[in-house]
Structure 1
């Protein structure tokens, strides 16, 4: 008996012994040698693991391993296999959605580039995630899909700490070039069945623990044709170290800017972060060397490259302790320029059809007036949904000279259906950049199916540049009031969404308006496509200022989809010499110039005070305590916080306090191109994605199901109910419109005392050549840090108006609108274009429209009276 008791105690002790808790904490592009290492004396597993960078209290558990799924419909079986010894993790790139999958259904897709050597090897994919405590594991799952083939899924159960899962990728699934990688979640609430409770559901992907697992001996990028395979860092950004000589001249910096843009565009990197300095170590990012071969002495060893007597651009493969390098060189200055020109000529992208589809939608699908596109080409999959709130989202990029006003409607032609028995407030809601644009009540008690149900989206809701459109289906039933959470595991289908849904744009007015920081931040206008070379005014060539300018220029190129050839000047260019971008600390600018450009320099100096001349270290160089590291990791994951925007210590203190109570912080509110034959995304059925060639016609299947229900039409009572629902919806829309107006007014109040960076735009003349954009900060170090935060896709999309202030403490942008924007003609004014511009202007100035209508009516009445009095025979 005593032996049995001792054996039981020993077994319990062994089961409760914690596994080694080590994971990569979240940080920015700081050098690895500056990072804090916490040593934990615990038993280590026999199987080798990925090497941690910053262990933390809220670390990832020992990775679960799921073997490759040979067929999309099969469950993950077979014994797990260990991660390759000494493997490295190739992280996902950052995007506009970030790493948060919210609601009952969510997904995000990335175009991932692999080399031919990588595609031929045994690969694994690792996912680290943290979920809201309200997620019910028994009815929630996370699914990995590569090139529309389901690799595996796992229950969502990581509510206390990050959990990591490793999936084996079957041979042949990934192809050389771009591949589509999709992470999707299906989540249900533990205790609440209301529609509002679905907003509490979220799963946060930990980017430091997520990515493609590559063997340690993988050669990485060895050819310029494989620049897309450059490894991003843990925040999803691509660090580019510009290795410039001492006292670099403007011509050298200009060349570096063009090369950095070419790298960012070739790899579809949405967040390139450039800094200047000596060659950097570490695994992630790239070192960039641009210049004549004779100038590289002491910076890079080119002895193995052979004689350089012609324009050359090549890759220096990564080595232990050294990033991969890209060298653009030649024997003379003219040869260097020719080598850069060759680098800028990008070859046609290669990869799987699904990967090419995903890369074409980077950072959004470029759509012009008079065109239409099916949502399957934007990465949206068909879905049979059993929950209460369905969501699908996609990004489109409008032309930079698109005139946004209510002179027409884009049509969202819905294909899908809904089941019988939905609640009276069931509806489809379409949002554009988080603003409700249109809603459709689902009125038929017997359900309905449709293949072409047009929803009009007013063009005034769209804007030049990047737009994110979300489709929501609110499909509650009366049974939800009883709330049996376990019933979610066997719930009936409520909503059908088909990837045949398409968006169609009418002819659009084409004339630009300036100032407008939104079209610059999300479209690169007016610098991209400018006649002549746009100017980059840099009064100081400090290394931090050069890095900040290069980061912003690369971001503009990504937004425009093409490189921008800036000319660096050290004196303010005159009127009409070209659109100008100015990047420097505040004190580097002349006060008279700032006043002329409507920059509130005095207000900023008063707010920033001692920071103007402070020689402060970058936040990335400050050591944090182990508890602060853990708190920062937890804070970033729970709040979907952009990692390039440092979490300040006061926020860390709040997070530490919350953690001591064990509570989970709530989430925040939320020319014609060549045609590519994209593969359809496929269809999700039962939580798995089926191949398109084997799927049945979902529309017919749903139509048959509704016929079998045998519901008869609704009568007078049903029609009264519909009228009541319609009236309530109109009142709700009016209330939301009022709230949006007050919120926009509050957001326009700029608070410079909390700003880390200020961005202003003005136009001094009547053409695009007279546009000035200024980016400034208290000092050069802050300018570099804040620029890295600014180009995070989740931050840059909020830049708008004439003056924008970035507050890094919460990654928020406060903006003030332009008082009187000016029109800039970008193309010949045809009659059709003038008609659309006039209609749009009238829609934005209803008072003028009403006044003109009254004037026309008065003139008509007066002319009629005159005619009746002076025409015809007099009766006298």
Structure 2
């Protein structure tokens, strides 16, 4: 099995497609389908019945080559040999080209298959010109201008509670653009800031600083979108049949810059965003990653291959995998547990914070729609109960704090609220959970579904780049009806040091931690004020002339 996982990683790293999935089968699949590559891996004796045109060299030595089949324009990749040692050598010819040292940091995240240029990886304070990020100078004559750029940050990014980046904007707009027009900045689909264009006579903006909160940044590639909403009198009077003006009203210059400040670097456990964005902590694991699969059926193997291949692409290199039969063997090691929920050990589910009752009940509804209707009814009843009395007041107050000051009641606790066992929604068909191991010195990630078939389908769905970036927090679930990944943030997490000891880094870590734990900050501030007052009183008592 580790050999097959290594093959999946090698193929994924060579392809780097935005939506890659793997299907393992003992039978020859239908050939010639668009967007599919068929690979035959096995000994010559095993592959001969499937491929009569198997090259004769496979019976005597290692072979890694394409072979023709009876179907037109449908060659298959053959990895074979007289024994499995030779097959492993054939697989290694595929993966060897993707190897790279784990201790050498990457300069870019390779996104060339869906976005150019390559996404630069920023480890500390740095300014990047728009021209280097693929944004060229453009003039625009319409109502809504939009462009985008990508910047990646490392897995130990820890500045989401206080930090701000900046866009130094070089742009221009004519007098036709009326007050009320604006420039919106989005980060990963979330509105980050808005700047109004108020000059009625137009203007040239030279390195206009636009602060962008780091709240929506996540490890890995981040999509930053700039949208200019331009209002003009001509647009108000626009009638059917009237020709649009071709006179430019807005220009964006490629001398604009994106400036990332220095930020704290320390990893969190659990943190699925770091895993999906940079394959942390599996990418840099010194020991082989422990993989637990209770049943090696085709669907479970397919799900495992797809998930591990996606991690390899996120990390930029293949990982060493070692299959285990007992979860106790994984203690002290980075581990993956993949399978249908009833097949996974109860101890692992408990450690991951999953309600063990759901091990048998999840997916037992007649169909997904029934579970969805139940969830909808529960949500409606919860809304009704919140509709009156003191509960409504508390909910309204919490919403007001969140909207106006970005403060939640959880941030006003001295001790974080305990994690409650997570019950997967009936409408969900896939769950990804992460936690520390029992010794709290390694990370365990659980990938589960009600059945092996749903496991394969669910992992293939979240492997799409558009959904993979939503896998974050402590637990993430996929709902096929809404085609959406929902994440549950970790209430409690531990910090894992990743950088050499540094006063500057510790200061930034403390700033972010205190910004998250406001009550601690308030207590510390009051305590320092009391100490300062007492010290001042003692000092004044010893100075001056006594009368």
The bucket for the TM-score relative to the shorter chain is 0.7 to 0.9
Aligned to 2:28: 279
1:588 CA displacement: 0.8
User: How has the CA–CA distance of structure 1 residues 817 and 262 changed in structure 2, closer, same or farther, with 3 Å as cutoff?
Assistant: same
Q: Tell whether 2:58 aligns with 1:387.
A: no
Distance 2:138 2:70 in 1: 45
SS at match of 2:123: coil
Q: Would you say 1:320 and 2:71 are equivalent positions?
A: yes
* Equivalent in the alignment of 2:447: 775
State the secondary structure of the residue aligned to 2:531.
Answer: helix
Which residue of 2 is the match for residue 755 of structure 1? 428
**Structure 1 residues 394 and 737: alpha-carbon distance in aligned structure 2, compared to 1, 3 A threshold:** farther
| CA 1:382–1:573: 2 relative to 1, 3 Å | farther
**Alignment pair present for 1:593 and 2:344:** no
Classify the secondary structure of the residue corresponding to 2:38: strand
User: Which runs of no fewer than 5 residues in structure 2 stay unpaired?
Assistant: 100-109, 374-399, 409-419
Cross-structure match for 1:61: none
Q: What is the 5 A alignment of 1:281-360? A: 281-284=31-34, 285-301=36-52, 303-304=54-55, 306=57, 309=60, 311-316=62-67, 320=71, 323-331=74-82, 333-346=84-97
Measured against aligned partners, the alpha-carbon deviations of 1:741-790 in whole angstroms (never above 9, x if no partner) come to 99xxxxx99861211112211113576x5211111111111111122112
Kindly indicate whether the alpha-carbon contact (under 8 Å) linking 2:54 and 2:67 is maintained by their aligned counterparts in 1: no
Residue aligning to 1:426: 181
Question: 5+ residue gaps in structure 1?
Answer: 1-252, 349-354, 615-645, 652-733, 743-747
Paired residue secondary structure (2:461): helix
User: In the alignment, does 2:233 pair up with 1:478?
Assistant: yes
Residue 828 of structure 1, aligned match among 500, 503, 508: 500
Matched pairs, number: 496
- Larger relative contact order (C-alpha < 8 A, sep ≥ 6)? 2
Q: How high is the TM-score relative to the length of structure 2? A: 0.81
> For the structure 1 residues 563 and 488, does the alpha-carbon distance in structure 2 shift closer, same or farther, using more than 3 Å as the test?
farther
Inter-CA distance 441–318: structure 2 relative to 1 (3 Å threshold)? farther
CA contact (8 A) 1:428 1:440 kept: yes
Quick check: which has more Rg, 1 or 2?
A: 1
Pick closer, same or farther for the CA change 1:403–1:433 going to 2, 3 Å.
same
RMSD, aligned α-carbons: 3.4
SS of corresponding position for 1:835? helix
Q: Give the Å deviation of 1:590.
A: 2.8
Normalising by the residue count of structure 1, what TM-score does the alignment of the two structures yield? Answer: 0.52
Relative distance call for 1:292 and 1:836 in structure 2 (3 A) is farther
Q: Distance in 1 between matches of 2:538 and 2:496?
A: 43
Supply the distance in 2 between the matched residues of 1:451 and 1:305 (Cα, whole angstroms).
69
Pairing partner for 1:809 from 481, 486, 490 = 481
Q: 1:417 aligns with which of 168, 172, 192?
A: 172
Query: What's the counterpart of residue 288 of structure 2?
Result: 533
Q: Distance in 1 between matches of 2:401 and 2:491?
A: 27
Structure 2 residue matching 1:346: 3-state secondary structure: helix
Distance change (3 Å), C-alpha of 1:593 and 1:751: closer
Listed one character per residue, the Cα deviations across residues 424-453 of structure 1 (whole Å, up to 9, x for unaligned) are: 211111111222222222122221223422
| Whole-angstrom distance in 2 between the partners of 1:304 and 1:523 | 40
Counterpart of 1:286 in 2: which secondary structure?
Answer: coil
Q: CA deviation at 1:543?
A: 0.7
Instruction: Give the C-alpha shift of residue 364 in structure 1.
Output: 4.6
Partner in structure 1 of residue 471 of structure 2: 799
Q: Deviations over 1:191-214 (max 9, x none)?
A: xxxxxxxxxxxxxxxxxxxxxxxx
Residues 367 and 595 (structure 1 numbering): CA distance in 2 closer, same or farther, change over 3 Å?
same
Offset of residue 382 of structure 1: 3.0
In structure 1, the residue matched to 2:393 is none
